[in-house]
Amino acid sequence: MAPHKTTPDYDSDDAMQDVESMQVDSVGAKEKTVKDDLEHMFDDDLDDEPMVDASNAHKNSSGKVNITAISDIPSANPSDPEDMLQFYSRLFPWRQLFRWLNHSELPSTDFAHREFAFTLHNDAYLRYQCYPTFETLRRDVLNLNPSRFEIGPVYSTKPRDRKQAKGSFKPIEKELVFDIDLTDYDEIRTCCSKTKICIKCWQFVTMAIKVVDVALRDDFGFQHIMWVYSGRRGAHAWVCDKKARKLGDGKRRAIAAYFEVVKGSSQSGKKVNLERPLHPHIRRSHDILKDDFKQNILENQDPFRTEKQAERLLQLLPDRQLKEALREKWDSTIERPSSDKWKDIDALAGSGVSKTIIPKVLLEHKQDIILEYTYPRLDAEVSKHLNHLLKSPFVVHPGTGKVCVPIDISKLDEFDPDAVPTVTRLLKEIDQWKNPVKEEDDGVSTSRVSDIDKTSLKPYHDLFSKFVQKLLNAERPSPTEKPLHTEKSVKVKAEEMDF
Amino acid sequence: MLGRDAIRQKKREDRKAAYGNKLDATSSSYPNKGSGLPYPHRLNFYTDPPKDEVSLEEFEQWAIDRLKVLGEIETCQFRNNTPTEIDTTLRKLLDKYLPLNSNSSIPESERSNPRRFLGLTNERKKDHYSHFILRLAFARSDDLRRRFTTTESILFRHRFTTDNTIERAEFMDSLQLNSEVVGEAEKVSLAEELKAVLISGSKMPAEKARQMFEQEQYLKVDWDRVSDLVEGRKVFLRRGYAYVPNSMLLSLVMAEFSKRLDESLIKTARYLPHLDEDDRLIPILNHLSKGFTAPEYTSSTSLASLSGEAITASQIDNLSSHFPLCMKNLHASLRRDKHLRHFGRLQYGLFLKGLGLSIDEALIFWRQSFSKFTDDQFSKEYRYNIRHSYGLQGAGRNYKPYSCQQILMEHPPGAGDSHGCPYRHFSIENLTVAMGRLMGVEDRSVVNGVKQDVEAKKYHLACNRVFEYLHEKELKKKEGGAGKETITHPNEYFDRSWGLKNPGKRGGDGSEVQVKDEDVTMT
Ligand SMILES: [Zn+2]
């Protein structure tokens, strides 16, 4: 163990050694907790729903949860199946997930007709799973121990009964979703590539969230928008307003197109070509992004530094004479930083190097460039289809071990993907947790602290609960039915009931 | 009482299914909404199929009356009339065949009295029923459906734009578009945003933009009712509402109208095979669909002669003095290049066929004209093609000479092509040169007149203007009689021209032009 490391970097190989040794030490304690938990779970289980559709019998090799397996030494795998099992049994917010998708406390078809899809560790993919309650869903997850699971639409009938329903089986609602992924930024991010990510390129995601979030609220009037870290290099938005859930494909496509500003995929050519005056949505986005462009793009990404990169900038600018003057200036200074080059544009244009330059045209081109480097690049296909599946919040990303936590939009700038807890870290936090209350005070107090409260997942969990509660309040049939005091009491009760 | 039972109960039910009446919710509230009258609004979106029985005579007469209106709309369309011109034409025609008066034509206090309202109800019933009868007649082919939707949409637009504003607003309400008028205060507070969207991409000067904005009225609708406008960022959005300018609302309503009609027609088409074979409606429907066709020109010469003798290949050069500009141009290109490309051969070849050039003479004509090719090449590449156009090879279809409408609308010429309509497809400069060189038209006032016609997209008027100028003397002699009829077919141009220049020979004055109705789609 390495006690000197208080916040170890679990994603680096060095740190992993520490984790391994720590895990070996704590195996005994862990085993007991899981066992208790499982027993408790089966006691509670009054439901006769079959565990898995017989036709989809890709049962996990272990079938039932194999408790002895826990004594195996965890590998360096960031999403070790055994850790995952621990996570899903002790830390996953099942009840809140249920309330979120069910839109009420009483079980309804909103939840029961919802499709869940599992990716198992052997890469089998189980679609059209459905559950009457969160307990049955939880039980199946613990049984199958999937490497991840996704949420699909609510169907006209139970997805498992789709064959009997024949033609009438169709998706009827699902949250409107958005997917921002840094792979779509690879041509403009210079700091990392492929699956790598750092705080610098995370800013692309931050900028995208800012622009999309405000537009969804101010333009489209949606209120219940949850942003979720996708576990590696992106974020998802779940727009949960009733109206959003009921949108058909055509209207989803319209929204996706509304957000389509950066067009074309080739390396060359100007990808933002907007008509003037700018549409108010674009105008607002530009105003939000223009300062970010200076800091996140010109300073941090420095995308026009080399001669070849600078040529790309020249391509995007108007006026031959101005471009020639710029090229000449930049040729004489090797690797002049992007911010300086950006300033050079106005400086040279103002100094009269070109007789043909039209200030308005130059300004418009500069606006287009800012948008090309900052405006959201959404994976539109994800948003366009009612029946598209998306990874559930709080699932562990199998590649990174990070939990797909919700992002607090009010502290968006503070969000750091590197600080997102991994499943291994969370389990360690449980093991290391010491009851601040003295033992002799009250023997019961220890058991009353839930596992989640022992970990750094707690704030994310609270954020989710708050979001769900707000959504449920809005879904209530009529405001006259909720006198002020009940709202408070329901809230308290809901929090108590978790886990 | 013949035909009281012509449309039996079962039929009505079947037809109701065929019309694809999905909007049960609407049918209960509308057209009976509020007033208790069957047709509270003058305008109709035709979502509900007829419920009452009509006699066979009414069935046929109402349909024929509507057909006259739709036929005239097609003619206007093909003449490239502006909406204002179509409105003028339609006003007269509709008064006669399909009047539809507004509620304001009777005193307000008496409008709720079904008796006082009876006249309006009958007009609206005729409009409603005739629309649905024609649906049955025109659902049968893609082409008929397309034309029916187009002409019905124009008819609807005419009525929509000429409707009393208050009644139109009431009608809009009944469509449940959930719109709300944007008040002046709100409009002013959002002026910058609304204006930006309104003039986006127009490069309009600021003063003009300001005026345009001031005149504009806005409606607020749920954004998802105008999702196609949202998709293109064509409207301003705020808190879930789209701010739709009135000028765009028309296109919105029109889009909705044609979309619904298209969908219903496809459903009707699926139902058609289920009409009983002995049904008395079938012959009427067949007859109706035949009546709705683009006028096709049948030359009165019909393979005969211009002066008693058959036309030969060698006469074409001489006869070309009677050709309209499009054919003159094709002829000149053929002489210059010794070749014409596919659509050029088709347009010109069928025109010559229309003159009465026999297949044998046509083969001689084309063989001689394509002088840079060897006999072998000609046989391989073109012979089949020419025989085909005479219906002697391949599908055996007897192709008809292209009308101006077809030349204007179909197969726009690309680089290297010589077909099409020069008035439409040439630049103004090239057109001026072509008129001078090919037609000998250099008169300033004629050329300017043509330019104006072309700018107004009235290509047929330009062509007729040239015709009138070239035949001024002959037309005067005839004291402006039959010559005033607008020419709508190149062969008609030729026949008239030849007739005017050769009075006495074959009928002489060129007035014996026949326009024959024939249903191309039924063959
Ligand atoms: Zn990076």
ipTM, two decimals, is 0.80
Q: What is the Cα–Cα distance from A305 to A302, expressed in whole angstroms?
A: 6
Q: What is the Cα–Cα distance from B305 to B323, expressed in whole angstroms?
A: 16
Reduce the secondary structure of B72-95 to three states and give it as a string: HHHHHHHCCCCHHHHHHHHHHHHH
B463 marked among binding-site residues:
yes
Residue scoring higher pLDDT (B296 or A300): A300
Distance from the alpha carbon of residue A381 to the mean position of ligand 1, in angstroms: 25
Cβ neighbours for A281, distance < 8 A, ≥ 6 positions apart: A215, A219, A258, B233, B237
B212 contacts in A (CB within 8 Å)? Answer: none
Q: What is the Cα–Cα distance from B73 to B68, expressed in whole angstroms?
A: 9
CB nearest to B224's CB, from A251, A280, A283: A251
Cβ neighbours for A269, distance < 8 A, ≥ 6 positions apart: A315
Q: How many CA atoms lie within 13 A of B24 on its CB side?
A: 1
Question: Touching check for B241 and chain A: CB below 8 Å?
Answer: yes
Q: Which of A241-245, B55-59, B307-311 tops mean pLDDT?
A: A241-245
A83 is catalytic: no
DSSP code for A293 = I
Each residue of B171-209: b (16+ CB within 10 Å) or e?
bbebbebebeebeeeebeebeebbbbbbbbeeebeeeeb
Per the document, the length of chain A is 499
Residue scoring higher pLDDT (A68 or B164): B164
Q: What is the Cα–Cα distance from A272 to B278, expressed in whole angstroms?
A: 63
The region of weakest confidence among A214-218, A398-402, B259-263 is B259-263
Residue scoring higher pLDDT (B516 or B450): B450
**Taking 70 as the threshold, does the pLDDT of residue A127 lie above it?**
yes
Residue scoring higher pLDDT (A125 or B76): A125
Confidence band of A147 (pLDDT split at 50, 70, 90): very high
**Other CB atoms within 10 Å distance of the CB of residue A308:** 8
Question: B191: closest CA among A280, A283, A258, A211?
Answer: A280
Interface touch B231/A278, C-beta < 8 Å: no
Cβ neighbours for A17, distance < 8 A, ≥ 6 positions apart: none
Residue scoring higher pLDDT (A414 or B262): A414
Q: Which tokens go with A223?
A: 């209120």
Q: What is the Cα–Cα distance from B332 to A475, expressed in whole angstroms?
A: 76
The region of weakest confidence among A230-234, B25-29, B445-449 is B25-29
The region of weakest confidence among A44-58, B91-105, B301-315 is A44-58
Average pLDDT, integer, range B414-436: 89
Q: What is the Cα–Cα distance from B77 to B65, expressed in whole angstroms?
A: 19
B232 contacts in A (CB within 8 Å)? Answer: 257
A344 is catalytic: no
Question: Of B194, B227, B239, B256, which to mutate for an interface test with A (greatest number of A Cβ within 10 Å)?
Answer: B227
Q: Which tokens go with A9?
A: 């970097």
A243 contacts in B (CB within 8 Å)? Answer: 224, 240
Catalytic residue among A150, A181, A368, A451: A181
* Cα angle, residue B319 at apex, residues B315 and B324 outer, rounded to 5°: 145
Alpha-carbon dihedral B228, B230, B236, B242, rounded to 10 degrees: 70
Question: Touching check for B218 and chain A: CB below 8 Å?
Answer: no
**Taking 80 as the threshold, does the pLDDT of residue B137 lie above it?**
yes
Catalytic residue among A18, A80, A110, A115: A115
The domain ranges of chain A are: 44-174+419-499, 280-374
Chain A residue with Cα closest to B202: A276
Question: Touching check for A257 and chain B: CB below 8 Å?
Answer: yes
Return mean pLDDT, chain B: 80
| Bond from prior residue into A459 cis (ω within 30 degrees of 0) | no
Q: B83-97 vs B142-162: helix axis angle to the nearest 10?
A: 90
Interface touch B233/A251, C-beta < 8 Å: no
Q: Which tokens go with A123?
A: 């890469």
With residues binned 3-state (H G I as helix, E B as strand, rest as coil), the percentages for chain B, rounded to 5, are 60, 5, 35
Distance from the alpha carbon of residue A188 to the mean position of ligand 1, in angstroms: 11
Q: B459-470 vs B490-501: helix axis angle to the nearest 10?
A: 10
A254 contacts in B (CB within 8 Å)? Answer: 224, 227-228, 230-231
pTM of the model: 0.61
CA distance B9 to chain A (A): 30
Distance from the alpha carbon of residue A300 to the mean position of ligand 1, in angstroms: 9
**Taking 50 as the threshold, does the pLDDT of residue B351 lie above it?**
yes
Q: Which tokens go with A137?
A: 């869903």
Q: What is the Cα–Cα distance from B106 to B464, expressed in whole angstroms?
A: 45
Chain A, chain B: beta-carbon pairs less than 8 Å apart: 59
**Tokens 């900038």, residue located:** A313
CB nearest to B227's CB, from A254, A275, A283: A254
Q: What is the Cα–Cα distance from A65 to A31, expressed in whole angstroms?
A: 12
Question: Touching check for B195 and chain A: CB below 8 Å?
Answer: yes
Question: Touching check for A360 and chain B: CB below 8 Å?
Answer: no
Question: Touching check for B277 and chain A: CB below 8 Å?
Answer: no
Question: Touching check for B223 and chain A: CB below 8 Å?
Answer: yes
Quote the pLDDT of residue A49: 31
Interface touch A275/B232, C-beta < 8 Å: no
Interface touch A281/B233, C-beta < 8 Å: yes
**Taking 70 as the threshold, does the pLDDT of residue B62 lie above it?**
yes
Question: Of B231, B234, B239, B259, which to mutate for an interface test with A (greatest number of A Cβ within 10 Å)?
Answer: B231
Q: Is the dihedral of CA B197, B202, B207, B209 positive or negative?
A: negative
Question: A246: closest CA among A177, A173, A151, A178?
Answer: A173
Question: B242: closest CA among B230, B255, B256?
Answer: B230
A250 contacts in B (CB within 8 Å)? Answer: 227
Question: B502: closest CA among B465, B479, B481, B471?
Answer: B471
Q: Which tokens go with B204?
A: 């309009």
A439 is catalytic: no
Quote the pLDDT of residue A71: 35
Question: Touching check for B213 and chain A: CB below 8 Å?
Answer: no
**Tokens 């750091």, residue located:** A416
Q: What is the Cα–Cα distance from A473 to A475, expressed in whole angstroms?
A: 5
Backbone angles phi, psi at A367, to 5 degrees: -60, -45
Q: What is the Cα–Cα distance from A313 to A338, expressed in whole angstroms?
A: 10
B76 marked among binding-site residues:
no
Chain A residue with Cα closest to B235: A279
Quote the pLDDT of residue A441: 54
Return mean pLDDT, chain A: 82
DSSP code for B310 = B
Q: What is the Cα–Cα distance from A201 to A55, expressed in whole angstroms?
A: 44
Distance from the alpha carbon of residue A417 to the mean position of ligand 1, in angstroms: 11
Q: Which tokens go with B501?
A: 């220049």
A282 contacts in B (CB within 8 Å)? Answer: 233
Catalytic residue among A80, A179, A184, A372: A179
The predicted-structure confidence for B225-280, as pLDDT tens digits, reads as follows: 888 889 999 999 999 999 999 878 777 788 788 888 988 998 888 887 776 654 67
Q: How many CA atoms lie within 13 A of B325 on its CB side?
A: 29
CA distance A465 to chain B (A): 25
The predicted-structure confidence for A277-304, as pLDDT tens digits, reads as follows: 999 999 999 999 999 999 999 999 999 9
The predicted-structure confidence for A334-373, as pLDDT tens digits, reads as follows: 889 999 999 999 999 999 999 999 999 999 999 999 999 9
Confidence band of A420 (pLDDT split at 50, 70, 90): very high
**Which amino acid is located at A82 in the chain?**
E
Which residues make beta-bridge pairs with A148? Answer: A119
Residue scoring higher pLDDT (B70 or A9): B70
Q: Which tokens go with B331?
A: 């002829």
Average pLDDT, integer, range B335-353: 90
Alpha-carbon dihedral A92, A95, A101, A103, rounded to 10 degrees: -150
B201 contacts in A (CB within 8 Å)? Answer: 275-276
Report yes or no: B73 and B90 within 8 Å, Cβ to Cβ: yes
**Other CB atoms within 10 Å distance of the CB of residue B139:** 23
The predicted-structure confidence for B147-193, as pLDDT tens digits, reads as follows: 899 899 999 999 998 888 888 878 877 876 667 889 999 999 999 99
Q: What is the Cα–Cα distance from A234 to A212, expressed in whole angstroms?
A: 14
CB nearest to A254's CB, from B201, B230, B239: B230
